Amino acid sequence: MHIIFNQAELRYGERLALRALTLSLSEPRIGVIGLNGSGKTSFARLIAGLAKPTSGTVTLDGLDTVADEKAARAKTGFIFQNPGHQIILPIIREDVALGPKSRGLPASEVERLVDEALLRFRISDLAARRPHELSGGELQLAALAAVCVNRPDVVIFDEPTNQLDLKNRARVKGAIDGLGEQAVVISHDLDLVADYGRVLVFHEGELAFDGPAEAAISRYREIAGC
Ligand SMILES: Nc1ncnc2c1ncn2[C@@H]1O[C@H](COP(=O)(O)OP(=O)(O)OP(=O)(O)O)[C@@H](O)[C@H]1O
């Protein structure tokens, strides 16, 4: 998918979270790194239409995230920093079914799509569980199934390996690496984006670097002073 920022700026009241940004993204994997508060989540929220630019525009394959809000939103999936908060129904299977059901698909088709999504992320065995019965990594995968069942063009991850042990981290990394969809991955876990062709470094609400992972990580280390 072609994501275009055209002088897109985001302010929260007086606070400037993202300075006017002009950028075109079409790579299958895009990493986003930077210090706390540098503007990474603000950038991601603009892509997903969860925040509206206070000036400028963001378009997804030509659809404006404000003027064409619904169609643009349908192209994106967002996995939040705490995916437990986005699983809203009490049973995982019901939650994954929510999207296809809301599209008015027949029950048999809903069931088929849910089975397919659970199988795809190897969590069929978790279908009958409640969110609080899942580990952090399993929650990420359940949220991913619930997002991908709606066939987004791009999936945005906000620190997907935060607080995961090595085993769950590997499982989530494997799921992201295997995605056919485009992925925008915000991460403080630099290994996660280390082989991405394009990594953006944000600093104080500005794009400080845009390029291959190795050079981006070096720039980030310079900024962080370590
Ligand atoms: N809802 C909000 N209201 C006011 N200010 C906000 C809001 N959300 C973010 N900010 C501010 O905007 C700036 C950028 O925040 P953002 O969440 O985009 O940073 P980040 O790089 O994702 O940080 P982190 O790595 O800590 O998640 C910060 O100064 C933050 O305090």
ipTM comes to 0.95
Q: Are 78 and 158 in contact (CB under 8 A)?
A: yes
Residue 42 has pLDDT above 90, yes or no: yes
pLDDT of residue 47: 98
pLDDT confidence band for 163 (50 / 70 / 90):
confident
Side by side, which strands form the sheet with 182-186? Answer: 76-79, 154-158, 182-186, 29-34, 198-203, 206-211
36 lines ligand 1 (CB under 6 A): yes
Q: CA 179, 184, 185, 186: dihedral to nearest 10 degrees?
A: -170
38 lines ligand 1 (CB under 6 A): yes
Residue 156 has pLDDT above 90, yes or no: yes
For the segment 35-60, the average pLDDT, to the nearest whole number, is: 97
* Nearby residues of 15 by Cβ (< 8 Å), 6 or more positions away: none
Residue 226 has pLDDT above 90, yes or no: no
Question: Which residue from 161, 216, 208, 203 is spatially nearest to 39, judged by alpha carbons?
Answer: 203
Residue 104 has pLDDT above 90, yes or no: yes
| Spatial distance between the Cα atoms of 156 and 133, rounded to a whole number of angstroms | 25
Task: Tell me how far the alpha carbon of residue 223 lies from the centroid of ligand 1, in angstroms.
Answer: 18
Number of Cβ within a 10 Å radius of residue 179 = 17
Alpha helices, DSSP H only, in the chain? 40-48, 69-73, 92-102, 107-120, 136-148, 166-177, 213-224
- The structure tokens 């999207």 sit at 99
Q: Are strands 55-60 and 63-64 parallel, antiparallel or unpaired?
A: antiparallel
Q: Percent of the chain at pLDDT above 90?
A: 97
Nearest residue (by CA) to ligand 1, atom 19, is 37
Q: Are 77 and 147 in contact (CB under 8 A)?
A: yes
150 lines ligand 1 (CB under 6 A): no
Q: Are 128 and 114 in contact (CB under 8 A)?
A: no
34 lines ligand 1 (CB under 6 A): yes
Ligand 1, from 19, 32, 40, 43: best to mutate by most atoms within 8 Å of Cβ? 40
pLDDT confidence band for 84 (50 / 70 / 90):
confident
| Spatial distance between the Cα atoms of 151 and 154, rounded to a whole number of angstroms | 9
Question: Which residue from 160, 109, 119 is spatially nearest to 137, judged by alpha carbons?
Answer: 160
For the segment 195-215, the average pLDDT, to the nearest whole number, is: 97
pLDDT confidence band for 92 (50 / 70 / 90):
very high
Q: Are 191 and 220 in contact (CB under 8 A)?
A: no
pLDDT of residue 40: 97
Of ligand 1's listed atoms, the one at least distance from the Cα of 44 is 18
Nearest residue (by CA) to ligand 1, atom 3, is 12
Residue 55 has pLDDT above 90, yes or no: yes
For the segment 8-13, the average pLDDT, to the nearest whole number, is: 96
For the segment 102-117, the average pLDDT, to the nearest whole number, is: 96
| Spatial distance between the Cα atoms of 169 and 191, rounded to a whole number of angstroms | 11
Query: Across the chain, what does the average pLDDT equal?
Result: 96
| Spatial distance between the Cα atoms of 5 and 25, rounded to a whole number of angstroms | 9
